[in-house]
Amino acid sequence: MKTLPVIALSMSLVITACAGKEAQMEKDQTMTNKVVKTDTEWKEQLTEMQYYVTREKGTERAFTGTYWDSKEPGIYSCVCCGQDLFLSDTKFDAGCGWPSYFKPLKEGIIKEQKDTSLGMVRTEVLCARCDAHLGHVFPDGPPPTGLRYCINSASLKFAPVELPE
């Protein structure tokens, strides 16, 4: 007779666990609306440089990209999935030859992960929606965040927009 409550308890635990997982998955999907494509599909959509940078974690050479020196007002979005990533008023001249921003457009759109390639420890930043490699984030940016999102032009697509003051 003593086993009955135990079984009931463990069953309710299983049910709770499953419900929790489903809720989490739904949340992830609505938050990022995940975009998943095959390498072939990405290759068809992107230029060679865009594919190399975003899908193979490459880096364009400094001062060679389209946007490192651009100052036009507008929005920079992910070249792969179109998610809006940065506003021009968070862009600053870091003198490094890549477009640099002190913060993303909003929370949850950029994913960070540790990158130990090339004998360095850096924080890689990726598009949370399609996992495109964007660049790296460094703790040497200007106020208010003190962060420098150093992004490849090849990962971005710019649209001129009048930003509210």
CA 75 to chain centroid, in Å, comes to 15
Q: Under the rule (CB under 5 A), what is the footprint of Zn ion?
A: 78, 80-81, 83, 127, 129-130, 132
What's the closest the beta carbon of residue 128 comes to Zn ion, in angstroms?
Answer: 8
| DSSP 8-state assignment for residue 153 | G
CB of 19 to Zn ion, least distance (A): 30
Query: Closest distance between Zn ion and the C-beta of residue 76, in Å?
Result: 12
Nearer of residues 83 and 153 to Zn ion, judged by Cβ: 83
d(CA 51, CA 76): 18
Rg of the chain over CA atoms, in angstroms?
20
| DSSP H/E element including 134 | strand 133-138
Residue number with CB closer to Zn ion (78 or 154): 78
3-state secondary structure of 144: coil
127 with 81: CB under 8 angstroms?
A: yes
Nearer to Zn ion, 6 or 36 (CB): 36
Minimum CB distance to Zn ion smaller for 3 or for 40: 40
For the beta sheet containing 100-101, the strands, ordered from the edge strand earlier in sequence to the opposite edge, are 91-92, 100-101, 148-151, 133-138, 122-127, 110-115
78, 81, 130, 150: the active-site residue: 150
In angstroms, give the least distance from the CB of 132 to Zn ion.
4
Please say if 96 is a catalytic residue.
no
Tell me which residues are annotated as active site.
150
